[in-house]
A and B are shown apart, each in its own frame.
Chain A
Amino acid sequence: CQPDLLETIPNDRISADIFWQTEADAELAANALYPTLDGLRTVTYDGITDILHTNRAFMGNYTIERGRATADHGRFLGEWDDAYEAIRRANDFMDNIDRVESDNADVINRLKGEVMTIRAYHYIKLAMLYGDVPLITKGIDIEEGRNVTRTPVDEVWNFIASELDKAASLLPVDNGSRISQGVANGLKARAMLFAGRYAEAAVAAKDVMDSGQYDLHSSYFELFQYEGEGNNEVILQREYAKGTDNHNPYTVLAPWSQIGGSNGSQYVPTAKLVDLYKMKNGMAINEEGSGYDTSNPYENRDPRLKYSIFVDGVPLPGGGVYNSTPGGDGSDPVGETIYATTTGFNVRKYVDEEDYTDPGNSGLNINLLRYAEVLLTYAEAKIELNEIDQSVYDAINAVRQRDDVSMPPITSADASSQTEMRAVVRKERTIELAFEGLRLFDIRRWKIAEDVMQGDPRGTYYVENDEVKQVEVAGIDRLFDPAKDYLWPIPERERELTSLSQNPGW
């Protein structure tokens, strides 16, 4: 008769009672925040915008893209849930970190800075998606949870700003792959841009630019490939590792022909985006004398087009070239199956040849904040402040002129007024940051969603009987109600368990 028969102590987890004692504990707890950073989800945000189409009618995202989701839609709850789970982890850290006995204040401060930054990262997302959200900064129990209320979004932005300032002061300039000062400042720049607080955005962006820590990588293509990992441009990324901490960008994004079974092509670019890429000479495709050839539409374009998107003629991971002409015998004919692209385009960012052989096991990192965005944020903030000086042109042109892009610079001859420059920076941002999870927030804050999110998306151009035709993606019929759709609803499920108010129109 063993006295301890009923005292089974688990040995595959640790008791909360013995934790929070050493510096090592603090580091372990801080590490647990990093997996909460978004990965491929960034791409799926773009999949509910005008530049990327959710290619599967039975995926939840499709309903949102069409503007027909209701408050009980799974994604509305899922995003909310994941963000608050991360925030809880951060709150638990902040609640307990002072229990740790350490002589090394630097380490503790550094870790606090990391955790505060990641918490702010999630609040930025929540504020952009839902507007007013409960601002929870400590671990709460069930009863407290039932009684929380929504904090006005301005206060949430205030919190984010002050947290990121505090974090920046605690963080070192160089912190390896971990959250550094640049992340806190860069996220603040993003947040303030979203919040429309342009002066603060410009200052924060300038702080990053002045830190000397970051530089544009010479190859745009490599930024989204294994080859480019460890470059100087990426400020924050969600890291993955094959085997142990893998994910599947290839399975999700690769052209249908490049992966067996009913996989790939879950999100496909639209003609809306493709047409935005200028000619190599800097002219828009519809400009007179641009040299745009309707029967050869993807040649002589901004090189970022083929780095970002599989269009006809782009080499495929398994060999051969991409071709999506409907009814043709190319690699990915539109309409061949419901799993093939419906627009005739495929995402190329994050589709790495190396994953072709083991598609479900990718270790490719996902960029969450890169220097190019900071430059464009700086430029946009300055333009919105109407402080258009040379530094604005420099920032935009730096992005346009990295080695493997080398587009002609924008000069004051091309654009000089605030309106002109606003158009320039927005276009640049759309192209440079395509599929990186910012488009949804951009069309919201620019208030252009009701214009761009209407009707059916369109696809690739092809020649049939000597006639240039364009693929049409029928039956999507997107709707966007400006009175309601600029914010997601507070998830219905959450409202059943709390007394949270609902956003207008939902």
Chain B
Amino acid sequence: QGSDSQTALLIHKEESKTGQLTSLGNELRRLETSYEVNIFYKSKEVQGKQVMASAGSQEGLEASLSLLLEPLNMQYRKLTPKSYVVFEKEKEIIKQETVEGTVTDQTGETLPGVNVLVKGTTSGTSTDVRGTFELSVPSLQDTLVFSFIGYQTQEVPIAGRTTIDVALQPQAITGEEVVVVGYGRQEKVSVTNAVSSVSSEDVSRRPVADAQQSLQGLSSGVTVRDQGGSPGDKNISIRIRGVTTLSNNDPLVIVDGIEQRFSDVNPDDIESISVLKDASSTAIYGSRAANGVVLITTKRASSSEVNVDYKGYYAIQDAINRPEHIGLEEYFRLENVAYQNAGREVPYSEAYIQEYVQNAPSPEYPLPFPWFRRDDLGILELAPQQNHTLAVSGGGEDIKARMSVRYQDVGGIVPNFSDETKEFRLNTDYTPSEQLKVSADLNYRSGETHEPGDGEFKVFNYMLHATKFSWPKYESGEYGLGPQVNNPLLFAEQTGDFRYQNDYLIGNIKGEYEFLPNLTFSTRYALRYSSTQQKRYWARYSNRDPLTDRFTQRQTNYLQEYRSYLREYTLNSLLEYTNDFGKHGVTALAGYSTVDNRRNRLTASRQDFYNNQVRSLNQGSEENKGATGRDFDYGLRSFFSRFNYNYAGKYLVELNARYDGSSRFSKDNRYSFFPSFSLGWRLSQESFWDQLKPYVNEFKLRGSYGATGNQAVDLYTYYQTLAAVNYTFDGEPVAGYAQSRLANQNLTWETTTQTNIGFDMEMMDSRLGLSVDYYKKVTDDILLGLPIPRLIGLSAPPQNAGTVENEGYEITIDYKGGNEFTYDIGLNFSDNKNEVIDLAGTGPYISGSSPNPTFITKEGMPISSHWGYLADGLFQSQEEADSWPDMAMNSNPKPGDVKYRDLNNDGVVNTEDRTDLGRSFPRFNYGLNMGFNYKNFELFTQWQGAAGHEIMISGGLNHQATYEAFTHAIYADYWTPENTDARFPRPIKGDTKNRQVSNRTVYSADYLKLKNVTLTYNIPTRFTEKVSLDRASIYIGATDVLTFSELTEWDLDPEIPSGRANFYPQVRTYTVGVNLRF
């Protein structure tokens, strides 16, 4: 302290000798001056209080304060070194009686952290780690209130007892539930939109590698297609209420207020997921919302108690589907018949077949396609997977934080596939004052994925194609090479390495200031950074099959490095007003947002490295080196607002609007306006409902209407630009420039208009809940690459033309019941009908051609429907074949050939006769989640399925031995003069005429899967407390346990896309895990 305060102290001592009475206020002000501090107090607590002047003149400020305040039953607290607050001591409860007890849940498990309050007062305590509490009460006639998140609050009259044990019942579907909505939260009862919410408990019930998988089967109106994929590269798509457009149909995913990818979140960090489905809930996201919005909120520290949670599992992955090859002898005979039918010499003599069958499998007599087998010849192995998340949360009144750290490692079922993820997240909250709240979050993830140099396709495609009669691997280390000189195991093990590394960082700061009661301003600024490094090394290799002497090699090794950087700056500012005027409740929100997205990428390559271990660019040859790069920038500027009004909590109105500007469009078309509104009526709040209330305690009607947009158009399409085209003169590269695409200055947004009507009801004291929604959404101005005459010589610009309609309904039912044995059941069902209404006179758009999957997008049909012939079985006689209309694909039909129908009756079967063969996207989706609890055991099962769509299998699985691909066991039943009742036509070598896309090659993809079974044992506290654990549970589980589908007979997963089935297969995992809380 400086000499000034010393002086002040001396002066004060002089004055204090007078011993007069003075006001407390004066004395505090004098101390402020003397000690150069601020002293805060409530004036009504200080007014009129007198103190002895001398009492405030002790040595030191704090001694003075004590002497001044003690007689007045007041106290002080030091806020900062330079500020104090003075206040009246609370009136202490007279410690008459003490009550103690234990709080448990319905299973008898003790509950720590339960709040215990004396009713009508603020005094109370919470249970300790053993679930016990001890509380002083003014009187044993008081009532205690027990409350705990997730449980029903219970009031227990003490009634003279001193020991009170309470068992809390879990909360049924509760009216007070809060739902995350766009830029805010709403009480569920007041939500007037179609919003599904999923809690962290639901998300964490199924251990998954990718957060997107956890949403599957949990929410109505949401189609999650999990098409498997190699570790780290899950092919998962999410569609909300169907397919709305011909381009990008991915929903907008917002994590903690910032647009991110769903897979960028640790499933263990998720607090809640809200799926916004109708226009009224999504319109506030305007031009990005046409495909629905998924809002993810991550966990934050909720109480000041410090919690340490560990969640971890270890799993074994196993390929579910292993297509079974036809038996060896049958295979040779089938081949012979196929050659014979093609008019060619029969390749295998009876003696050869017998010799082969007796000696196979052996290196001299390899099996045709052994790759999927479970024995040593197969190449699909069991692979481990593990995931660990450690989270610590807690803090004080002013600062709270939650940090989590995660490690995930997913092995590959084929060598050289793997994925590793490490990440941490820190979510912090500061409360500097009652008005100001600040939060700062940081998430960093580092991922590394590996696959063989030649990639996934090479390995899995060649398990079904072009590897006939290849011995997998000799003991000497060489790989077997069949006539086509390929080997999938060689491709997996010898072709090098592809390394994909991603560093993902998002920082997010939010400030919230309540500068007037009910009026809050908040602003959030986020910086998102993603850096991707890919290094694909195509190794030099050579392999000679020692038995066949066939040889394959890659003489030149080659390295390609790829870098891609994303920087995105997002600013969201909101002004929110909430107030109640009597029975009128009002909430208003106005916001401003900008997104500034910048990406660039770079590739560089060289070849001819000294050996396969040298993998650094500058070690490659100076010859044939390459470098390319691209830049992409876009910006989005938006103004938006929402207004909610309710009258007595009964009549609810919501209005939304967003005004979006995007750099993707020319100045004249840059901004667009997306309005919406919704209405709700809680009939159950009306007096006429009173008689119904015992049966239906909550009933709300909802309706909404509004517009959202889709800006999914390539960048810079409205510019008339010239792009580089390069050429070489005499080995010297030269540049050239040419226009390649017509520019469309008039390009604008796609607009989706959606109507939604629904109701929510809760029955049996909210133990049974039911929600039903009907919707119709129409997407107009769909950006179509409308074909233009090719003789114009430029490619077509996207034009706003098409219209697509989606109509459907959704039902969600929840039930919680039981007493000692309790259970919860959640059922959801949705139906979505998709139809292309208008393609502006163009189309139909047909992609693909027979015998490959062929899809059509045509007015009056669902988007991308299967397209092909109708077939009527097989010809049984030459007369029948001769009298059939001429078939373009089969000019010389024979008995055993497929009868393709002449649908337009023009006497010829050609491409004009193709017809609708069904949807490629499911019409129905359903999920059933059931949890059962008994004592310390919990059993969770999740069923999920989809229906109303088809899948086309092409390639080897379709060939029926016409080429040299995998021949499925199912093809044993083929037509011969002796087997005329056959399921499959006569095989013909080198001819696909009987393999056209038709109702014979398109299969129903309807399925029902038991996606997950988990059995959890909650370890009783009496054991856990010995090792200082608050809670502990251990579980075992399995995924994709059962599948009911027509594709099962093909050994295929029903979720795979149409095509050659040459993908990394779906895996089943067997999991052991623990959840611990310290």
- Asked whether any CB of chain B lies closer than 8 Å to the CB of A358, the reply is yes
State the CA gap A333–B740 with chains docked (Å): 46
State the CA gap A338–B485 with chains docked (Å): 12
State the CA gap A230–B553 with chains docked (Å): 31
State the CA gap A35–B468 with chains docked (Å): 40
Contact of B721 among A10, A81, A242, A337 (CB under 8 A): A10
Chain B hits for A357, CB < 8 A? 555-556
Distance (whole angstroms) from the CB of B888 to the closest CB of chain A: 7
- Asked whether any CB of chain A lies closer than 8 Å to the CB of B200, the reply is no
Contact of B722 among A7, A19, A86, A144 (CB under 8 A): A19
Interface residues of A in 342-377 (CB under 8 A from B): 356-358, 361, 363
Chain A hits for B631, CB < 8 A? 10-12
Chain A hits for B594, CB < 8 A? 1, 5
Q: What sequence of 0s and 1s flags, for each residue 1-37 of chain A, a beta carbon within 8 Å of any chain B beta carbon?
A: 1100111101111111101000001001111111100
Q: What sequence of 0s and 1s flags, for each residue 341-384 of chain B, a beta carbon within 8 Å of any chain A beta carbon?
A: 01110010000000000000000000000000000000000000
Interface residues of B in 778-802 (CB under 8 A from A): 787-794
Chain B hits for A339, CB < 8 A? 466, 484
- Asked whether any CB of chain B lies closer than 8 Å to the CB of A505, the reply is no
Q: What sequence of 0s and 1s flags, for each residue 450-482 of chain B, a beta carbon within 8 Å of any chain A beta carbon?
A: 000000000000000110100000000000001
Are A261 and B485 closer than 8 Å at their CB atoms?
A: yes
State the CA gap A72–B850 with chains docked (Å): 13
**Nearest-CB residue, chain A, relative to B555:** A357
- Asked whether any CB of chain B lies closer than 8 Å to the CB of A145, the reply is yes
- Asked whether any CB of chain A lies closer than 8 Å to the CB of B60, the reply is no
Interface residues of A in 112-142 (CB under 8 A from B): 134, 136, 139-142
State the CA gap A453–B608 with chains docked (Å): 46
Distance (whole angstroms) from the CB of A454 to the closest CB of chain B: 14
| A337 touching B483 in the complex, CB below 8 Å, given contacts A10-B631, A57-B990, A356-B555 | yes
Chain B hits for A85, CB < 8 A? 740, 790, 793-794
| A17 touching B720 in the complex, CB below 8 Å, given contacts A84-B791, A91-B793 | yes
Chain B hits for A11, CB < 8 A? 631
- Asked whether any CB of chain B lies closer than 8 Å to the CB of A445, the reply is no
Are A497 and B733 closer than 8 Å at their CB atoms?
A: no
- Asked whether any CB of chain A lies closer than 8 Å to the CB of B729, the reply is yes
- Asked whether any CB of chain A lies closer than 8 Å to the CB of B759, the reply is no
Interface residues of A in 428-480 (CB under 8 A from B): 474-475, 477
Are B787 and A239 closer than 8 Å at their CB atoms?
A: no
Are A6 and B736 closer than 8 Å at their CB atoms?
A: no
State the CA gap A140–B555 with chains docked (Å): 49
State the CA gap A141–B794 with chains docked (Å): 9
Distance (whole angstroms) from the CB of A222 to the closest CB of chain B: 17
Main secondary structure of the interface of B (DSSP, over half): loop
Are B729 and A178 closer than 8 Å at their CB atoms?
A: yes
Distance (whole angstroms) from the CB of B746 to the closest CB of chain A: 12
- Stretch of B106-114, B618-626, B897-905 contacting A (4+ beta carbons < 8 Å): B618-626
- Asked whether any CB of chain A lies closer than 8 Å to the CB of B634, the reply is yes
Are B727 and A84 closer than 8 Å at their CB atoms?
A: no
Are B888 and A337 closer than 8 Å at their CB atoms?
A: no
Are A31 and B735 closer than 8 Å at their CB atoms?
A: yes
Distance (whole angstroms) from the CB of B449 to the closest CB of chain A: 25
Distance (whole angstroms) from the CB of A155 to the closest CB of chain B: 16
- Asked whether any CB of chain A lies closer than 8 Å to the CB of B1026, the reply is no
Are A6 and B737 closer than 8 Å at their CB atoms?
A: no
Distance (whole angstroms) from the CB of A363 to the closest CB of chain B: 8
Distance (whole angstroms) from the CB of A199 to the closest CB of chain B: 32
State the CA gap A11–B715 with chains docked (Å): 12
Q: What sequence of 0s and 1s flags, for each residue 11-48 of chain B, a beta carbon within 8 Å of any chain A beta carbon?
A: 00000000000000000000000000000000000000
| A88 touching B793 in the complex, CB below 8 Å, given contacts A177-B730, A475-B342 | yes
Distance (whole angstroms) from the CB of B315 to the closest CB of chain A: 35
Chain A hits for B739, CB < 8 A? 16, 89, 92
State the CA gap A68–B722 with chains docked (Å): 40
Chain A hits for B465, CB < 8 A? 262
Are B794 and A88 closer than 8 Å at their CB atoms?
A: yes
Chain A hits for B259, CB < 8 A? none
Interface residues of A in 70-93 (CB under 8 A from B): 70, 72, 74, 77, 80-81, 84-89, 91-92
A contact residues vs B (CB 8 Å cutoff): 1-2, 5-8, 10-17, 19, 25, 28-35, 57-58, 68, 70, 72, 74, 77, 80-81, 84-89, 91-92, 134, 136, 139-142, 144-146, 148, 176-178, 230, 239-245, 260-262, 318, 335-340, 356-358, 361, 363, 474-475, 477, 491, 493-494, 497-498
Can you give 25 A-B contacts (C-beta < 8 A)? Answer: A1-B594, A5-B596, A5-B663, A6-B670, A13-B721, A14-B722, A15-B721, A16-B720, A28-B737, A29-B736, A35-B727, A57-B990, A86-B793, A139-B793, A141-B792, A145-B792, A178-B729, A239-B727, A239-B728, A239-B730, A243-B623, A260-B485, A336-B483, A497-B789, A498-B789
Not counting A13-B722, A34-B727, A239-B729, a sample of 20 additional A-B residue pairs whose C-beta atoms are within 8 angstroms of each other reads A6-B637, A8-B633, A12-B629, A13-B716, A15-B719, A28-B735, A29-B738, A30-B736, A31-B736, A32-B736, A80-B790, A85-B740, A85-B794, A241-B731, A261-B484, A337-B468, A337-B964, A338-B963, A339-B466, A475-B991
